[in-house]
Structure formats: structure tokens, C-alpha cells
Structure 1
Amino acid sequence: MPTPERTSLDAIVRAASALLEEEGLAGVTMQAVAHRVGVRAPSLYKRVASRDDLLQLVAEAALVELTLRLEADPEADARRLADTLRGFGTERPAAFRLVMSPGAGVPVARPQFGAAASEPILLLSSRLAGAERALEAARTLTAWATGFISMELNGGFNLGGDVDEAWDFGVTTIVAALTAGRDVDDRT
């Protein structure tokens, strides 16, 4: 009779994701994940070839979660979509950093996972800036939100003032700029 499976790939990825949030990227080791799922480290290699492969799977799982959140409200306006992205960053800061600004040498998700997460943002951007400028608008909105959220997570706003008010101002300003871009294109 074959030996029963003691863990699954899903359990391994969930354990690695939890470690990422608790210990940061350096804490996601094969040994730590194995301990978390109750097996010896060599047993993990039956499911995951390397730590880099594991981190890629964690990034992909994070993007799936983000995609589900963004798709939950297909008619979301820019405010709700941006707030959803910010909520993900606040609730899962290490996962947010892993997928939005992984850093040199850190494994990243395969492109199709990023593309899926981008779809709701592209749809919104098309409504804001027009179909011809949807990609540029999505990049602008995403870059601004990622920068803001990253600074917020890293304690970069230390000059005083209300960070939530700054977020509101930023979203309003970005939306106005993207909409103005559509209006300019319509006149030409």
C-alpha cells in the first residue's frame, strides 16, 4: 500500500503565504514551511522544486486573491477599485509588496496572473479615459496607487496631516486627470 500524502500543494502555498505575512520574505524557507505543514523539508520537494518556485506560487496565489477582490464589484468606480487595492495592501502587506514591487532577484508570478488582476483596472480605465487610452490610464492609476500604498506601508508619510485625506485627494485628482485625457482625445 502506498504511503498516504501528508500535505498538499495548496497547504504548502497557504503555509508559505502565512509565513510571508508573519516573517517577511526571508522567513519563507523550505524548512519553515515544512514545519508549518507538519512534514520534513525534503518532502516539500515532491510538490515544489525550489524556494523560488514556492515564492512564485505564493505570488500567483496573492494575485488570484487580488483578482477576486477586484472582480467582486464589476461596476466599481475608481474610488471603490482603488480602495479595494489599498485594502489588499493593508491586510496583506507582504503579499502586496511581493506582487507590486518584488525587488531584484525575487521570483514573480507568471504573466497571466498579472494580466487577470489587471482586467478590472483596464475596464475601469477604459470607462474613464476611453478605450484608446485604457492601458495608459490603467498604468497611471496602478502606479500612483502602488506608490501611495507602498509609502503608507513603509511609514513614509511622516510630515503630519491625514493620510486618508491625502488618499482621497489623490484618487480624485487621478480620476480627473484620466477623464480630462479622454476629453482632450475626443476633441482631436
Structure 2
Amino acid sequence: MPTPDRTSLDAILSAARDLLEDDGLPGVTMQAVATRVGVRAPSLYKRVQSRGELIRLVAEATLRELTERVDDAKTAADVLARFREFGKERPAAFQLVMTPGPGIPVANRELSAASSAALIRTATDLAGEADALEAARTLTAWATGFISMELNGSFRLGGDVDRAWNYGVERLVTALSDARR
């Protein structure tokens, strides 16, 4: 008779996501996850083949969560505000999916494309269908850079960071809308 399963994939992913926020990507080890879910590390391999697969699954779960947050946003400013809010709440997860670095497992292409739907939709409204992808990439690149700098404490010249965010969003939205005309 086989031994009963003592943990689930959901529990493993939850533990890995918590470890990611607590200890960064280096802290997401099979041993650390096993400890969090109360099993021995070899037991995890019944659910997850490797640390790389675990990181990929965490990235995919993160993209699903981010997609849910931005999916019903009506404007580019709202999409970006929700994107920033997510980054501030889940900084390590944000960095995992937006700036993973070389050799870090990433979410599958289909999920990545689906997670961009709200931004593509609002970029289409701003810049037109012909330029929607470029507009979406511009918005994403600017927001990711801004949020990453904010998370890393890189804005050291004083001033109001929220005001700078709003300034950037307004200027980008205006520029993309003007280019359509």
C-alpha cells in the first residue's frame, strides 16, 4: 500500500512564494520549502521535479495573480497603478517575473502573453492597434524600471516619489495618445 501524500502542490507553492518574499530567490530551496510544509525534502519531488521547476511554477502563479489584479482595469493609468501596487506588496515576486535575470526559470510563453492582455487592450486604446504592442512595451518598460528603482531605494534626491510616478504616467499616456493623432 502506498504511503499517503503529506503535502500538496498548492502548499508547496504557497511556501515557496512566502520564502521568496522573506528570503529572496536564493532562499527558495527544496529544503527550505520542505521545512515550511512539514515534510522531508525528498517528499517534494513527488510534486515538483526540481528547484528550477519550482521557480517556474512560482513565476506562473505570480503572473496569474498579477493578471487577476489588472484584468478589469479600464485605463492604462489604472493598469499601471495596480502593477505598481503589486510590486510594492510582492517585491521579490515582481522582480522574479519582470526582471528574472539570466538562468532564472520563467513562466511559459502562453501565460506571459495572457498576462499582458489588459495592458495590450489599454495600449490599443491609447496608441491604436498598429502600435499597441510597442506602446504596451513602452509602458511596461517604464513602469518596471520605476518600480524596480523604487523597491531598491534608488530615488535618493528627495521629492515626492508618488508625484514622480503620476508625472511619468501622465506624460506617457499623453505621448502615446498624441502619437495616434
TM class by smaller structure: over 0.9
Secondary structure of 2:116 counterpart? helix
Q: Map Cα deviations across residues 4-38 of structure 1 (whole Å, 9 max, x no partner).
A: 21111111011100000000001000000000011
Q: Name the residue aligned to 1:125.
A: 123
Q: Name the residue aligned to 2:30.
A: 30
2: CA distance between counterparts of 1:57 and 1:30?
13
Counterpart check, 1:11 vs 2:2: no
Q: Name the residue aligned to 2:59.
A: 59
2: CA distance between counterparts of 1:105 and 1:135?
26
Secondary structure of 2:56 counterpart? helix
- In structure 2, the gaps of 5 or more residues are none
2: CA distance between counterparts of 1:159 and 1:179?
30
Residue identity opposite 1:68 in structure 2: E
Q: Name the residue aligned to 1:43.
A: 43
What number of residue pairs does the alignment pair up? 181
- In structure 1, the gaps of 5 or more residues are 184-188
Shift of 1:79: 1.6
Shift of 1:2: 3.0
2: CA distance between counterparts of 1:38 and 1:136?
46
Secondary structure of 2:16 counterpart? helix
Percent identical among aligned pairs is: 64
1: CA distance between counterparts of 2:107 and 2:77?
26
Q: Name the residue aligned to 1:113.
A: 111
Residue identity opposite 2:141 in structure 1: A
Q: Map Cα deviations across residues 80-106 of structure 1 (whole Å, 9 max, x no partner).
A: 111000000000000000000001111
Q: Map Cα deviations across residues 45-83 of structure 1 (whole Å, 9 max, x no partner).
A: 111111011000000000000000011x24x21221110
2: CA distance between counterparts of 1:33 and 1:99?
20
TM-score, structure 2 as length reference = 0.98
2: CA distance between counterparts of 1:158 and 1:16?
32
Superposition RMSD on alpha carbons, in Å?
0.8
2: CA distance between counterparts of 1:36 and 1:112?
30
Q: Map Cα deviations across residues 108-149 of structure 1 (whole Å, 9 max, x no partner).
A: 111112111100000000000001110000000000000000
1: CA distance between counterparts of 2:178 and 2:136?
15
Moved over 3 A (4+): none
Counterpart check, 1:164 vs 2:162: yes
